[in-house]
Amino acid sequence: MADHPRVIVSLPNATEAAAVADWLLTDGFNPVKRGTAQAAADEMLLPFALLIADVSHRRLLMHSRGRNPMTPTILIGNAATASSGDSLGAQTMYLSRPIDRAVFTCFVAMAMLDSRPVRRSVRKPVNRFDAVANGVPSHIVDVSPEGLRLEMSRERRAALPPYFTVRVPLVGVAVTVQRMWTQSSTGRESSIWYGGALSQNRSAITQAWKCFVDHIPIVGQTGLVLNP
């Protein structure tokens, strides 16, 4: 199956692993099922396009991916059990149980997209701007014309689906965002970072976002000027 991306499936439940493997096979992938973290780590010595693992396997797998540091990962289970020190990196997403086929397929698509360079502009660090993501209070950490990074309380992370709305009350900008990655916040153990790309927005909304990005102050500056 050389023409099909190789996906390591490290799930201890045989029934769940079989279902996930069947979905991947149907979608054109080459799933490699391994019931233990050690067996999955051994498979990581060979090239692979995606890792799907139980959240309980994260520690051993984290120490085994030096050859593939940028390969995307989907951890299945409760993200609250993963401490900030166990993060597998920016390419890690968390999927809660029970696993829905449609949501799983969306996560796989996002993970594969995240493994490719999609950002066309340099990120602009900002002074933790207030935002509301799908009704949940959060903060914007950095922005670009194509996307953003949000910081949210770890207890609230499951509230964000693969696609969500980010509203910036101060300037009245609201955009639809595709969730691209999830990572523990540096220096804030109780917080999670989300990376997102603008998706399915009307041209007027996209333009309003770009105007916001152009004029929002970077770290160390103050004041938002909308009419230079």
Residues 6+ apart with CB under 8 A from 62: 86, 87, 88
**What CATH architecture is 124-215?**
Beta Barrel (2.40)
Residues 6+ apart with CB under 8 A from 204: none
Q: Give the Cβ contact number of residue 2 at 10 Å.
A: 5
Q: How far is CA 207 from CA 22, 67, 140, 156, 197, in A?
A: 42, 40, 18, 30, 14
Looking at residue 13, its pLDDT comes to 93
Q: What is the DSSP string of the chain?
A: -TTS-EEEEE-S-HHHHHHHHHHHHHTT-EEEEESSHHHHHHHTTS--SEEEEEGGGHHHHHTT-TT-TTS-EEEES-GGGS-GGG---TTEEEEPSSPPHHHHHHHHHHHHHHTS----S--EEEEEEEEEETTEEEEEEEEETTEEEEEEEGGGGGG--SEEEEEETTTTEEEEEEEEEEEEPTT-TTEEEEEEEE-S--HHHHHHHHHHHHHSPBTT-----S--
Looking at residue 69, its pLDDT comes to 63
> Residue 41's Cα: distance from chain center in Å?
22
pLDDT by residue, tens only, the chain of 228 residues: 445 788 999 999 999 999 999 999 988 889 999 988 888 888 888 888 888 999 888 776 666 566 566 678 888 987 655 544 455 554 677 888 888 888 888 788 777 765 554 445 667 888 888 999 998 999 998 898 889 988 888 776 556 787 899 999 888 889 999 887 777 665 566 778 888 889 889 888 988 898 888 887 776 555 444 443
Domain ranges of the chain: 6-114, 124-215
The Cα–Cα gap between 108 and 95 comes to 10
Looking at residue 157, its pLDDT comes to 54
The 10s digit of each residue's pLDDT in 63-102 is: 656 656 667 888 898 765 554 445 555 467 788 888 888 8
119 contacts 146 by C-beta, under 8 angstroms: yes
The 10s digit of each residue's pLDDT in 150-163 is: 888 877 655 678 78
Nearest to 7 by CA among 100, 115, 96, 117: 115
**What CATH architecture is 6-114?**
3-Layer(aba) Sandwich (3.40)
The answer to whether the pTM exceeds 0.95 is: no
Looking at residue 194, its pLDDT comes to 83
Residues 6+ apart with CB under 8 A from 197: 118, 119, 146, 147, 177, 178, 180
